Amino acid sequence: MIELRHISKKYKDFTLDNISFSVDSGDYFVLLGESGAGKSLILEIIAGLIVPDKGEITLDGRNITNQKIQKRNIGLVFQDYTVFPHLTVKNNIAYPLKSRKFNKIAINRKIDELAEKTGIGHLLERRPDTLSGGELQRVALARTLALEPGCLLLDEPLASLDVQLRDGLRSLLRKINNEGITIVHVTHDYEEAIALADKVGIIHNGKIVQIGSPKEVFHKPKSKFIASFTGIKNFYNAVIKSDDIIILENKVKMEHALGKTQGSGFVMFRSEDIVISKSKIDSSMCNNFQGVVLDMIPTKRGMEVIVDIGIKISALITQKSADKYNLSQKCNVWLSIKALAVKFIEND
């Protein structure tokens, strides 16, 4: 287990404030946050590149807060493929083993093992300047794994890769984790967290604002910032007025099926659960609102349509549907939302 207790650090004009979390042995922990939130600084503190001003770090019960990086049994892989450009792939993997005085037979055995695991056996005689980004990241992983670290730290490892390469590297990271290596992975991409994490932490302006399983964090975000950052566009302050009515942002009345008669908190519903039409449709959906299209944003999943019904609603539809209804900015539309699609998070 790796544990951070009350870690604080003033670094240039940025401050990490009272960071505490733990990662069980064999878990995959993803620290999710915007650029500049403090993610990489936390990794560098865990690795031993930077010493915190306050707090302590333990690894399997051993206090490593002030221990040198070489003694921590922690591997760190950066985003920018930190491999030696003058060495072949084989010699990059061998480098940490040679520095620890492994014999030639042990080195060659380890190189073969790691090359097979990371899928780079055919690249061993190549130099880094002939490799793709995905291949370079696999080489960096293999070299880091050579010394069998107890914990692997990953700093935005997929950020520079295209979609196909990213999927392949995700599979490799899951495989490495399934073999028992504890992983702490920082990213700004919530889809990475969904695909990989056993546990997720959200960091904002140097503070941890929520920690939990992916289901807890993505289905019950504690704030509008967390909801927005984790891909939930429709998230509103809400008050339950009766067993079937809830008021959003003191403006919009909706029907719900929450089984509650009172309470205040937040309402959220998925963009995919909204039906758009040019005229009011005859259906069993209880919530029907007329509004004006404010914006239309192409996404990889379709078209996001922002509609003003007194509050701004984000609906996700296919490009085919957008073309069918000839949607455009300032046109009038109807939105329909099932009562069962309305989720409620009560204030703590």
Q: Identify the CATH number of the domain in which residue 37 sits.
A: 3.40.50.300
139 and 161 inside one domain? yes
Quick check: 327 pLDDT over 70?
yes
176 and 255 inside one domain? no
The domain boundary residue, chosen from 199, 229, 259: 229
The domain boundary residue, chosen from 164, 197, 229: 229
The Cα–Cα gap between 2 and 184 comes to 9
Q: Is 218 left (phi over 0), alpha (psi -120 to 50) or beta?
A: alpha
Domain count, the chain: 2
Quick check: 346 pLDDT over 90?
no
The domain boundary residue, chosen from 229, 251, 284: 229
Angle of helix 104-118 versus helix 133-145 axis, rounded to 10: 140
212 and 284 inside one domain? no
Quick check: 71 pLDDT over 90?
no
Q: What is the pLDDT of residues 172-221, one digit of tens each?
A: 999 999 999 999 999 998 888 888 999 999 999 999 999 999 888 888 88
Handedness of CA 189, 190, 192, 198 (dihedral sign): positive
256 and 221 inside one domain? no
Q: What is the pLDDT of residues 236-255, one digit of tens each?
A: 999 999 988 999 999 999 99
Supply the CATH number for residue 296's domain.
2.40.50.100
Quick check: 347 pLDDT over 90?
no
The two tokens of residue 296 are 């239309």
The Cα–Cα gap between 126 and 266 comes to 55
The Cα–Cα gap between 324 and 127 comes to 52
Residue 348 pLDDT level (bands cut at 50, 70, 90)? low
55 and 194 inside one domain? yes
| Residue bearing tokens 């296919």 | 318
105 and 173 inside one domain? yes
169 and 310 inside one domain? no
Residue 81 pLDDT level (bands cut at 50, 70, 90)? low
Domain coverage including residue 284: 234-346
Residue 91 pLDDT level (bands cut at 50, 70, 90)? very high
Quick check: 258 pLDDT over 90?
no
197 and 258 inside one domain? no
213 and 242 inside one domain? no
- pLDDT value at residue 213: 92
The Cα–Cα gap between 125 and 264 comes to 63
181 and 292 inside one domain? no
Share of the chain above pLDDT 70, in %: 99
pTM of structure? 0.82
297 and 188 inside one domain? no
Q: Where are the beta strands (DSSP E) in the chain?
A: 2-11, 14-23, 28-33, 54-59, 62-63, 74-77, 151-155, 182-187, 199-204, 207-212, 234-240, 245-248, 252-255, 263-269, 274-277, 287-299, 302-308, 312-317, 332-337, 343-346
The Cα–Cα gap between 166 and 178 comes to 18
168 and 294 inside one domain? no
